[in-house]
Structure formats: structure tokens, C-alpha cells
Amino acid sequence: MRINMPEAVSMIIKRLLDAGYEAYSVGGCVRDALLSRVPYDWDITTSATPDKVKEIFHRTVDTGIKHGTVTVLVRSESFEVTTYRVDGKYLDGRHPESVSFTRSLTEDLLRRDFTINAMAYNDESGLVDPYGGERDLAARIIRCVGDPVARFGEDALRMLRAIRFAACLSFTIEDATMAAIKELAASISAVSAERICAELCKLLTSDRPELISLLYDTGLSEYVMPQLNGVFEGSLKNDMLAALSRSKPDKVVRWSILTHFTGSAREIMRSLKFDNKTTDAVCMLTARSDASYISISRADLKRDMAVLGTELLPAWFDYLDALHGEGFSASLREESSDIIEKGECFLMSRLAVTGKDVLGLGCPAGILVGKVLGEVLDKVIEDPSLNDREKLLPLTKKILSSVI
Ligand code: ATP
Ligand code: MG
């Protein structure tokens, strides 16, 4: 068994070995390499204590030194090097009370969540796999290392990670692991909204977004997104899962689909502590779900384009296609491209008259300026040929006189 590691990782491992320590790549990168997937990052585990790691490498950052993690910088890249560690007692269902270092790789691997994440590798020793990770990778199974009830009891986030890995890798969750999630589902409340959100995003943007159903099957949804239960207990469950499966793996698109079915988009996004930009984007799409968009007028399309902005347009079309069937938005896509190509104005900032012009026509400063420009824009959206200074100034004057 040989895994191709990036040169920098091999170099870090070699330097640690040459200094008389053990060192391996470990966890997700070994799993992904064995699956012929490109690892997101390469983590290194070593018998050297953080002090020694810092002596051996010149450029380091104390990222998580309390937990034994030192970041080693190699050129413009960074790698986490973590000392073999055993976690102390978990008191809050999320964080170990203490960590202590160990000389044993097998012990370090024992603290890891799933068998497929509990393998280590270096060129000298090959694969180190004391808990059957390779077997479970071949069988495409997510299985806890050790007793699942104990492991989820230590850290409730692992329950969501299990479901997320099942979705990202298209694996199934082993029976005892699944039963333990059902048993301990309520303890997910100990996990912060940000961590829950990060896992749900990975789950939802995976190849198997329909495995969101595992949240309901395990009882986790009641605690992480209670609105989901209504969908699973109602008649739209299959519509939602089908729409998710056929949609593009985009965060805004998939969250919009989900919250289209659950309702309460803003409330859900806020409770999961999403950033405002994502929240607003999702709310703007869910407000534009209707199948009647197929027959929208060109002028109304421009009004929607003004609100969504060109950046969100592709996501909106993908969203509509997922809800109403492939190709649904074809004519909208075409028409919006045509509008953009022809340079038709649908934004106030692109009008041939400005706020200054409105003031020059005698409008008092204040909100009235925006109101006048808004009405001018509306006319221009209806008739693009009006967006010409010569034509627009008299029209602006007329609109102004009608509002003051
Ligand atoms: P990815 O980076 O693709 O999300 P990963 O497996 O690399 O997946 P990380 O969160 O980067 O996940 O963690 C790296 C490794 O640390 C995991 O493979 C696992 O061995 C261990 N690990 C991470 N989180 C936990 C946890 N909550 N409980 C136990 N072990 C964990
Ligand atoms: Mg990782």
C-alpha cells in the first residue's frame, strides 16, 4: 500500500523521523487518498511534543498548542502537526476537560471519531489501521471507533459528522452507530449553532443532499431544524428530496430549496447563525419560487434582476429548475442574457439622469429624490428607449411635479 503524499508532507514527516520521532499523515487525508479523492488538507500526527516540533521547524504558528497542534509553514502552505494525544473526560458533551500526550499512535487513533478517519500512513510503516478503517472504506460504512453511545456521549457533534460523511462519501451508517445517534439525538443541543451550520452546509452541498432525511430518521432534526419535521410528516417530503437531488451543489440554491419547503427561511438561517449575505440571498430566492415566473414579462424580469443583482441570477434559475423541472428557466435565462447584452437599464445607478439632475429640477433634498428616480426607472424598465438624457429630463420633470 502506497499513498502519494504532497512533497511538503513527506518532507515534514521525514524531518520528524530523522529527529528520532514517529510521524504520519492521519485522518481525513488518508481516508480521501485511499478513496482516490483529493484531500482537502493533510494533517500530520507525531510522537514529538509541540516544543520539539517548534525546535525542528523554523516557521511555525501556535494554532492550538494547548491541544498539541502546531502549524508548520512550508513556502506558502501550512500543515497542522499534532502530538499523539488522548482526550480527557468530556464534561459538556463537546470538549474534553483536558488532553494529555501519549507515546502511542494506536491510542491517538482511538480518540478519533470513525474507523475511516482513524488511519495513519507514512512511507516507512505503510498504513496503520488498528480499527478496521480500510475494511469499512471498502464496505462504504460509517462506524464509530469503539462504543458509539460512549463516543457520541463525549462529543455530540460526531452525530452530525456521521450523517455528513454518509452524504459526502455516499456511505451508509452502521446499525449500532445509527442506533446510538437515535438514542442521543437530544444531546446535539450542546453543540454551537455555528458548528451545526457548518456540518449542515457540507451535508446539503454534498452529492447526496437527499440524505438530509437522516436528520429526521435519527431525531436530530427536532433539535437542529424543527421546521424540517413538518415537511417529513407532510405530503411534500418526496418533492423536497427530489428537488434537492436534482439541484446544483450550491449552498444558496440548496438552502433555498430546503427552506422553500420548510417555510421560515429567515428564521432558520438566523438560528443557524448564517451570515447576512447568505441569509438575504436565500430569502430573495424563496420569495421568487412560483411556476408563473415562466410567463413573466420582460419588464418584470428586469425588476427582479434589479433586486437580485446579476450575481444571484444563475442561482435563482438553478433554484427554479430544481423546483419546476430541468429547463424550466431556459427562456428566463435567455431573456436575462439578452437584457444584459443589450445594456437595458434596470438599475437606478444606470439611469441617464442622476440625483443631481432631480435636485437641479427643484426637488427638495431627501427621500423624495429616490422616489422620483424610482418612478423614472420604472418607466425606463417598461421602455428602454427612454434612457436618454434628452428624453429623460422632461419626463423626470413631469414625474417630479406629480409628486410634490
Ligand atoms: P474533512 O476535512 O473532509 O471535513 P476530516 O476527516 O479531515 O474531514 P476534520 O474535521 O478536518 O475532518 O478532522 C481531521 C481528523 O480529526 C478526522 O479525520 C478525525 O480523525 C479527527 N476528528 C475531527 N473531529 C473529530 C471529532 N469531533 N471527534 C473525534 N475525532 C475527530
Ligand atoms: Mg480535514
Q: What average pLDDT does range 157-177 have in this prediction?
A: 98
User: Which of 45, 81, 117, 205 is the best mutation target for the ligand 1 pocket, counting ligand atoms within 8 Å of the beta carbon and taking the most?
Assistant: 117
- Nearest ligand to the CA atom of 27: 1
Q: State the distance from the centre of ligand 1 to the C-alpha of 270, rounded, in angstroms.
A: 26
| Model confidence at 92: pLDDT above 90 | no
Last residue of a domain, one of 136, 162, 194: 136
Distance 203 CA to ligand 2 centre (A): 15
pLDDT > 90? residue 178: yes
Residue of 110, 112, 165, 181 with the most ligand 1 atoms within 8 Å of its CB, for mutation: 112
Q: Choose the final residue of a domain: 105, 136, 167.
A: 136
Atom of ligand 1 nearest to the CA of 202: 4
pLDDT mean over 154-160: 97
In a domain, 345, yes or no: no
The answer on 164 and 53 residing in a single domain is: no
Mean pLDDT of 161-166: 98
In a domain, 346, yes or no: no
Regarding whether 86 and 18 lie in a shared domain, the answer is: yes
The reply to whether 218 and 89 lie within a common domain is no
Q: Which pLDDT value is given to residue 90?
A: 82
Are 48 and 67 contained in the same domain?
A: yes
For ligand 1, which residues put their CB under 6 angstroms from it? Answer: 27-28, 40, 43, 112-113, 117-118, 155, 157-158
pLDDT band at 98 (very low <50, low <70, confident <90, very high): confident
Mean pLDDT, range 203-208, rounded to an integer: 98
Domain-located, residue 262: no
Average pLDDT of span 170-180: 98
Task: Name the closest-CA residue to atom 8, ligand 1.
Answer: 28
Predicted local distance difference test score (pLDDT) of residue 99: 83
Ligand 2 centre from 56 Cα, in Å?
24
Distance (Å, whole) CA 10 – CA 17: 10
- The residue type of 236 is L
For residue 238, is it within any domain?
no
Starting from the CA of residue 168, give the closest ligand: 1
Domain identity same for 20 and 119: yes
Q: Is pLDDT above 90 for 188?
A: yes
Query: Does 261 fall in a domain?
Result: no
pLDDT at 404: 81
Answer whether residue 108 shows pLDDT above 90: yes
User: Which atom of ligand 1 is nearest the CA belonging to 43?
Assistant: 14
Which among 288, 308, 340 is the end of a domain?
340
Please give the pLDDT value at position 89.
81
Q: What is the CATH number of the domain that holds 79?
A: 3.30.460.10
Task: Provide mean pLDDT across the span 219-245.
Answer: 98
pLDDT tens digits, one per residue of 8-18 = 999 999 999 99
Residue 97 has pLDDT above 90, yes or no: no
Same domain, 99 and 197: no
- Residue pLDDT, tens place only, 273-297: 999 999 999 999 999 999 999 999 9
pLDDT over 70, % of the chain = 100
Q: Which ligand is nearest to the CA of 86?
A: 1
Q: If you average pLDDT over residues 39-64, what whole number do you get?
A: 96
Average per-residue pLDDT for the chain: 96
| 2 and 119 both lie in a single domain | yes
At 163, which CATH number? 1.10.110.30
Q: Is 127 in the same domain as 162?
A: no
Give 54's pLDDT tier (boundaries 50, 70, 90): very high
Q: Is residue 44 part of a domain?
A: yes
Output the CA 402–ligand 2 centroid distance in Å: 62
For residue 28, how far is its CA from the centre of ligand 1 (angstroms)?
Answer: 6
In this structure, the answer to whether residues 157 and 191 fall within a common structural domain is yes
Please tell me the distance between residue 100's alpha carbon and the centre of ligand 1 in angstroms.
Answer: 18
Residue nearest to atom 1 of ligand 1 (CA): 28
- Ligand 1 atom nearest 32 alpha carbon: 3
Q: Are residues 83 and 103 in the same domain?
A: yes
- How far, in Å, is the centroid of ligand 1 from the Cα of 208? 20
pLDDT reported for residue 291: 95
Domain containing 52 equals: 1-136
- Mean pLDDT score, 69-92: 93
Residue 403's pLDDT is what? 87
Are 59 and 93 contained in the same domain?
Answer: yes
Q: How far is the CA of 248 from the centre of ligand 2 (A)?
A: 23
Residue 94 has pLDDT above 90, yes or no: no
What is the atom index within ligand 1 of the atom nearest the CA of 158?
27
Residues 6+ apart with CB under 8 A from 369: 355, 358, 359, 363
pLDDT number for residue 82: 97
d(CA 260, CA 256) in angstroms, rounded, equals 6
Q: What is the pLDDT of residue 267?
A: 98
Q: Look at the chain and report how many structural domains it folds into.
A: 4
Ligand in nearest proximity to the CA of 45: 1
State what percent of residues in the chain have pLDDT above 90: 95
Confidence of residue 93 (pLDDT cuts 50, 70, 90): confident
Pair 252, 150 in one domain: no
With respect to residue 237, please indicate whether it lies within any of the assigned structural domains: no
Predicted confidence at residue 95, as pLDDT, reads 81
Classify residue 240: in a domain, yes or no.
Answer: no
Ligand 1, atom 17: nearest CA belongs to which residue? 27
